[in-house]
Structure 1
Amino acid sequence: MNKTDSETYRDKKRFFENLLTVYGRKPVLEALQDPAVGIYRLHLADSNKSADILDDIIAIAQEKGAEIVYHSRAALSRISKNAKQDQGVAADLELRGYKTYEAFIKESPSTSFTLLALDGVNNPQNLGMIIRSACAGNINGILLPQKGSAQIDPLVIKASAGTLFRAPILRCNSLASALKDFQQRGVDICCLSSHASETLKDFHPKSACIYVLGNETEGVSQEVEKLCNQRVRIPMNNGVESLNVAVTAALIAFR
């Protein structure tokens, strides 16, 4: 945001930045059926044929006070960014936990939070299961880069078993830049390494800590690994070298 922008404009920009757009008839309906989910705007293709599920979506959206807008198929595809799977429906959701990492830093009253940072985790099912574990466990936020990682889509929503709509998702453009911002505030950045001397069980950070989870095949990138000032390992038996990234996330969430 520009320093010359009015506060009204800044508030409006922050509001739209914190909306999550989901698409597809079933994902949108499931989201709207969650009492914790607010909806700002419902987008519909004007070519949609009558269907019971559409009637249900519209009824709940109206009940929640959403604006309902009809678009051409081409215009709707620009909103959903997935013309093949949007099924003529998209919704701008208001989720309490969906925000930028800068907003989290500004709003967080605690200095002892625990975050997960996803570095190139590009499998939608893994992302969904990580979100589910983080939401159920003792995790205050998931740092999710806008590029280089799986983005929120129907597969992620399904794998999260709907917990996505209640999970603390912290968006960032660059994971390395976000980690540097946290590091400047005294936050420990920790990655898992089979060569670390300390185990996850015995690691007790004295302040806030971010655990970095790397790509499913290549692990943590060199750029991000250089930022880590802590390293821990998960002891393995029977010659097993590593765990699935979603399983690792679960162990951290419930450690």
Structure 2
Amino acid sequence: MSENYIGGFHAVMAALEDGAVKPFEILLSDSRQDERARRLLAAANAAAVPVRQVSKSDIDMRAPELRHQGVLALIPERELLGEDALEAPASPERIFLALDGVQDPHNLGACLRTAEAVGATAVIIPKDRAAGLSPVVLKAAAGAAERVPLIAVTNLTRTLEQLKERGYWVTGLAGEATESLFDVDLTGPLVLVMGAEGAGMRRLTRETCDRLVKIPMLGKTESLNVSVAAAVCLYEAFRQRQPGGKRR
């Protein structure tokens, strides 16, 4: 089995406490003698995961692209889920977040983090021309990638059509939309679709949506970062699903 790695205390603790597959080994900087390091050592001991204390430069060389905070966990390379993970019947509490070609791993990680926070069913991404699971994504997700499914599909448009046939309402975010996010009903089986950085949704994806909405903005900013926009949309759907939270 090939290996990957995750860095940062949040992500490594999540892998120890919540991950379906535990790390093979944890590398901990010998300069970390603080309370966070002691909690991690205790969690690793409880999970029977070996911890090897090494120099910070050793961790830097293994993961030069990560802000690892002096901790790195070696984990089995995680395979993305496929289309068969979407076959369950629609039910009112289910929310999918679909990302149409998001390429920045930090944005994908942040979207996973918000999706997990609001209890989203899963995040859907295309297999090609989009960010996938990587150490940077896992670090940005701060443990959420261990808790929310990430589903990679061959054809996002076809997947959205299939979800519509199963009873989901597909809502896309687009700057040219006339309806406000805050004026539409986001309860019931829902797919929220976000476009790529800069380019937005592809034409076929946009045409597949049941409706397009926009986030109202009073300032001069033309658009929000995709992960920020996803957070706004997910939390509006979350708010509407709370007791007394339906749209006005």
Q: Which amino acid aligns with 1:37?
A: G
1:141 aligned residue: 122
Question: 1:130 aligned to 2:104?
Answer: no
Offset from partner CA, 1:162-221 (integer Å, 9 cap, x none): 221112322322212211211222322211123323211111046422111111010001
Cα drift, residue 140 of structure 1: 1.9
Cα drift, residue 126 of structure 1: 0.6
Q: Is the 8 A contact 2:16 2:47 kept in 1?
A: no
1:222 aligned residue: 203
Pick one of 101, 109, 122 that aligns with 1:120: 101
Question: 1:251 aligned to 2:242?
Answer: no
Offset from partner CA, 1:81-132 (integer Å, 9 cap, x none): xx998xxx9533789xx633422323x5624422110101000111111111
Kindly tell me: are residues 25 and 203 of structure 1, through their superposed partners in 2, closer, same or farther at Cα, counting changes over 3 Å? closer
Cα drift, residue 241 of structure 1: 1.4
Q: Which amino acid aligns with 2:75?
A: A
Match runs of 1:13-28 below 5 Å = 23-24=4-5, 26=7
Q: Distance in 1 between matches of 2:132 and 2:198?
A: 18
Match runs of 1:1-255 below 5 Å = 23-24=4-5, 26=7, 30=12, 33-39=15-21, 63=48, 91-92=75-76, 99-106=81-88, 110-205=91-186, 207-255=188-236
Structure 2's unaligned 5+ residue stretches are 30-40, 50-62, 66-72, 237-248
Kindly tell me: are residues 22 and 119 of structure 1, through their superposed partners in 2, closer, same or farther at Cα, counting changes over 3 Å? farther
- The count of aligned residue pairs is 205
Q: Name the stretch that deviates more: 147-156 or 202-211.
A: 202-211
So what's the TM-score if we normalise by structure 1?
Answer: 0.66
Q: Distance in 2 between matches of 1:25 and 1:162?
A: 9
Kindly tell me: are residues 118 and 60 of structure 1, through their superposed partners in 2, closer, same or farther at Cα, counting changes over 3 Å? farther
Cα drift, residue 157 of structure 1: 1.1
Structure 1's unaligned 5+ residue stretches are 1-15, 45-50, 65-82
Q: Is the 8 A contact 2:101 2:130 kept in 1?
A: yes
Q: Is the 8 A contact 2:6 2:75 kept in 1?
A: no
Q: Distance in 2 between matches of 1:226 and 1:40?
A: 42
So what's the TM-score if we normalise by structure 2?
Answer: 0.68
Cα drift, residue 156 of structure 1: 0.7
Q: Is the 8 A contact 1:214 1:220 kept in 2?
A: yes
Kindly tell me: are residues 32 and 241 of structure 1, through their superposed partners in 2, closer, same or farther at Cα, counting changes over 3 Å? closer
Secondary structure of the residue aligned to 1:39 is coil
Q: Is the 8 A contact 1:101 1:170 kept in 2?
A: yes
The share of aligned pairs that are identical, in percent, is 27
Q: Is the 8 A contact 1:32 1:38 kept in 2?
A: no
Q: Distance in 1 between matches of 2:90 and 2:175?
A: 34
Q: Is the 8 A contact 2:169 2:189 kept in 1?
A: yes
Offset from partner CA, 1:133-171 (integer Å, 9 cap, x none): 111124222112221110111111111112211123223
Q: Is the 8 A contact 1:27 1:154 kept in 2?
A: no
Q: Which amino acid aligns with 1:177?
A: R
